[in-house]
Amino acid sequence: MDAILAKKPLKWAELGFQYIKADFRYSAVFQKGNWLPGNLISEENLNIHEGAPSLHYAQQCFEGMKAQTTQDGRVVLFRPTLNSERMNRTASRLLMPEVPQDLFIKAVEEAVRANYAWIPPHGSGAALYVRPMLIGVGENLGLKPAQAFEFRVFVSPVGPYYKSSGLAAISLAVSEFDRAAPQGTGSYKAGANYAGGLLATLKAQELGASEALYLDSASHRFIDEAGSANIVILLKSGELITPSSNAILPSITRRSVLEIAAEQFGIKTEERAIDLRIEFDSFAEMSACGTAAVLSPVGRVYFDSEWHIVNGDGYSVGPVMQKLYDSLIQLQRGEVEDKFGWLHEVEI
Ligand code: PLP
Ligand code: COI
C-alpha cells in the first residue's frame, strides 16, 4: 500500500507513551503448520476464541521497536532483525511457531509505511512505536499449546516513556516481589513476565518512584533489571557495567549503548553480577535503558527502607550518560553517520 503522505495534526512534542489508534495494522495467521498470507487491516480489535491459550495460559509474546524520521525525511527502524531473532527465541520457549524473519520485517515495514501519516516528524522528540505480537488463538481448554496463532504488528506514535520529559533523572524502588526465577522466562519477552510486575510497579510508584527495580530472585543481592528496561551503571572508576543475569531481557538498546561506549568513547565495559548494597557507593551514574525508556538516568534508588542518591543531587543527568544518550538518539534519528550499520530504512 502506498503511504498517505499528509501528517496527522497531533501535538507530537506533547505525546506520552499511550496507545493512539493508527489507521492500519498487519496480521498473519499460522494454521495447520503453515503461515497463511498476511495483510494490512484497519480493525484494531481481535476476535479470538474464549478458550484461546493466550488468554488463559499466557501463550503469547511481543516485541517493541521504534520507527523515526531522519533529518533528510527517510523513515528508519533500529536493528529490527534483532527484534525478529528475540521474538523467535521467545516463541520457541513458549512452544509457538517462529515468525520467519522475512515475514517479520515485511509486516513491520508494511505497518510503518501504511501509517506514514502517524510517524512523528524529525525533531519532534516523538517516534512511532512498533509492537509486533504473537498470540495463541483458537479453541482450547487443557494446558497444551494452541493449534493456531496470530502474528500482528500495530503501531502508535509515542513520546517519552517516563513522565519526566527529556533527559531528566528518574527514580527506582527495589521490589519486594521477584520478577523472574533463575531458570524461568525472565530472558524472554513473554507477556506473563509483565503481569506479575504490575503490582511491583504500583508499589514503586506509591513510594514516589518511576518504576520497580528487581534484584535476582535467588539471593536478592544482585541487580537484575527494571520493570521495562535494563540497567547500565557508570562506576566512579570510569568503567560502564551492566548486570549479567539469565533472568533479564537481553536489551537491544543496552547492547547498542555498550557498543557505542566502547567503540566511540573508549569506555571499558563489563557485563557482571552487581551487588546493589555492596557496590552502590561506587556508582557514579546509573541509567535504565530500553526501546521505550531510551537511556533514562536514574537519580535515586529506594532500598532497605530509604532513598539512596546516585551521586550528584539525585535529579540531574551525569555527563557520561548525557553523551551516551546524545550519541544513541542521534544515531537512531539518522543525524550522524550510521557507522555501525544499525539503521534499516523503510521505503515510503
Ligand atoms: N527489559 C524489559 C523487561 C523490557 O520490557 C525491555 C523493553 O523491551 C527492555 C529490558 C529493553 O529492551 P530493548 O532495548 O530491546 O527494548
Ligand atoms: C519496550 O521498551 O519496547 C517495551 O516493550 C517495554 C514496555 C513495558 C513498554
- Which atom of ligand 2 sits closest to the CA of residue 63? 5
Query: Are 283 and 311 within 8 A, CB to CB?
Result: yes
**Sign of the alpha-carbon dihedral angle for 63, 112, 128, 153:** negative
Q: Which-ligand-closest: CA of 83? A: 1
Collapsed DSSP state (helix, strand, coil) of residue 323: helix
Of 68, 87, 228, 251, the residue with max ligand 2 atoms within 8 A of its CB, to mutate for a pocket test, comes to 228
pLDDT at site 1: 58
The angle that helices 80-93 and 101-114 make with each other, rounded to 10 degrees, is 120
Q: Which residues line ligand 1 (CB under 6 A)?
A: 64, 225, 228-230, 249, 251-254, 290-291
pLDDT > 90 in the chain, percent: 95
Give dist(CA 316, CA 297) in Å, integer: 8
Degrees, nearest 5: CA angle 55-213-261: 110
Of 251, 252, 256, the residue with max ligand 1 atoms within 8 A of its CB, to mutate for a pocket test, comes to 251
**Sign of the alpha-carbon dihedral angle for 191, 83, 77, 150:** negative
pLDDT at site 221: 98
DSSP category for residue 221 = -
Q: What is the pLDDT of residues 126-147, one digit of tens each?
A: 999 999 999 999 999 999 999 9
* Residue 315 pLDDT level (bands cut at 50, 70, 90): confident
pLDDT at site 166: 56
Q: What is the pLDDT of residues 31-61, one digit of tens each?
A: 999 999 999 999 999 999 999 999 999 999 9
> Would you give the distance in Å from CA 15 to the centre of its chain?
17
* Residue 99 pLDDT level (bands cut at 50, 70, 90): very high
Closest CA to 290 of 109, 158, 98: 158
Name the amino acid, one letter, at 270.
E
Q: Which residues line ligand 2 (CB under 6 A)?
A: 64, 228, 290-292
* Contacts of 290 by beta carbon, 8 Å cutoff, 6+ apart: 64, 161, 228, 229, 230, 251, 253, 254
Q: Which-ligand-closest: CA of 66? A: 2
Collapsed DSSP state (helix, strand, coil) of residue 21: coil
Residue nearest to atom 7 of ligand 2 (CA): 228
- Residues annotated as part of the active site: 189
pLDDT at 313 over 90: no
| Cα of 229 from ligand 2 centre, angstroms | 7
Identify the structural domains of the chain with CATH numbers, from first to last.
2-159 (3.30.470.10), 170-332 (3.20.10.10)
- Which atom of ligand 1 sits closest to the CA of residue 256? 14
